[in-house]
Structure 1
């Protein structure tokens, strides 16, 4: 296998890929919805996955029977309040919360000299990675607070690739959200989508669980596509 068909970096989303903090996001948004007297269900919460805090708030406010216009300052205050609830909840996270297969995959990637990074829309990524005890497992964690655009824009994945010093075409992105997969493909990367709900036609690999991730299969699929287009 030649160097041009080998993976040079794997860039991961955080929530739902490295660990599952979705429940804490759900609880935090539920607290905000309750304060505002808005309906909020687990089904609706699926719409907020991989979406920025303000965009999520806009979707939530769209549930109101009578629309109300909030100032940018009020929106920011509500978004900040949601994050405060979330930050309290995630203090429960421990290294035991790393999803199945991830630690093994990271060890394989390291053994093969493949770089790794985190490309999350979460402004709490550094905190969660620290609580998981994984600070040394990633070459870069993109600071979402410094980004101008959110997924499905590819900025976060391109920023990670640039920081790792790897051409995006030799990167794999791993996501559990539709907007995230769209961002990976827009960045020109190989996309892995992890979901029990559905397959995505634009994803290069569709898996049900993180436990199905392994370097050998990933590199084989990556090489097959590279060789097909070369």
Structure 2
């Protein structure tokens, strides 16, 4: 079992850990639905979480009875429009969008000499970090275009450790989703889950929310 003293780096997921962009994706889809005269509902918004862009579009069109109204090329255009909407939402972000306690946690990691990297599948992650004014905390960001497999495959976390020139066992991965925790574990890193104990039962430790994630709490759980 890894001891706290062995840890030299932290590899972070972005969404649900440092900030919550799912709200922004929801807003962007809502705007697209409005432009197509398709009624939006909370249920529809929830159904899109964790679903790919094209599959999300199909669900929205189906909800409005318009699944047969567009050619493949037109659907591509609609998906691009959603992304344009999303970027506009991202550009409204400020440091106020950092989840509770995370800025303090990042400050404490930096003050204690830990290395940090970002393991997000989002192409827009560097832009989000910039808006949150956290870009200089993460000089190392895994390029999603370089990945051949998505989570729960360990590739993104293996690369996150390699960017820091650290062995996996010297790193802690921080995630809010079961697939992400599985990826951290498969990479041979210590997994910190943020969220529901049951959903994230495979994690080495779980905190109910971001404000509970501190170096002291992680040390207590690892060395217990």
Per the TM superposition, whether the score is higher than 0.5 is yes
Residue 93 (structure 1) shift: 0.5
The residue number in structure 2 matching 1:107 is 107
> Quick one: distance in 1 between partners of 2:93 and 2:162?
30
- Matched position secondary structure for 1:29: helix
The residue number in structure 1 matching 2:82 is 82
Is residue 54 of structure 2 the alignment partner of residue 57 of structure 1?
A: yes
Contact map agreement 2:117 2:160 (CA 8 A) in 1: yes
- Within a 5 Å distance, the mapping from 1:43-192 to structure 2 comes to 43=43, 45-46=45-46, 48-49=48-49, 55-61=52-58, 64=62, 71=72, 76-192=76-192
> Quick one: distance in 2 between partners of 1:159 and 1:48?
28
- Within a 5 Å distance, the mapping from 1:25-44 to structure 2 comes to 25-33=25-33, 41-43=41-43
Q: 1:49 to 1:145 in 2, by over 3 A?
A: farther
TM-score (norm 2): 0.81
Matched residues, number: 219
- 1:34-64 deviations in whole A, cap 9, x for unaligned? 566777654554565556xxx3432552573
> Quick one: distance in 2 between partners of 1:162 and 1:182?
18
Contact map agreement 1:120 1:144 (CA 8 A) in 2: yes
The residue number in structure 1 matching 2:10 is 10
Residue 87 (structure 1) shift: 0.1
The residue number in structure 1 matching 2:211 is 211
- 1:113-146 deviations in whole A, cap 9, x for unaligned? 2111111111111111111111111231222233
Residues 198-207 or 13-22, more deviating? 198-207
Q: 1:42 to 1:172 in 2, by over 3 A?
A: farther
Q: 1:133 to 1:35 in 2, by over 3 A?
A: same
Q: 1:214 to 1:183 in 2, by over 3 A?
A: same
- Matched position secondary structure for 1:10: strand
> Quick one: distance in 2 between partners of 1:85 and 1:30?
10
Structure 2's unaligned 5+ residue stretches are none
Query: Alpha carbon RMSD of aligned pairs, Å?
Result: 2.9
Structure 1's unaligned 5+ residue stretches are 225-230
Contact map agreement 1:29 1:82 (CA 8 A) in 2: yes
Residues 97-106 or 42-51, more deviating? 42-51
Contact map agreement 2:194 2:209 (CA 8 A) in 1: yes
- Matched position secondary structure for 1:103: helix
TM-score (norm 1): 0.79
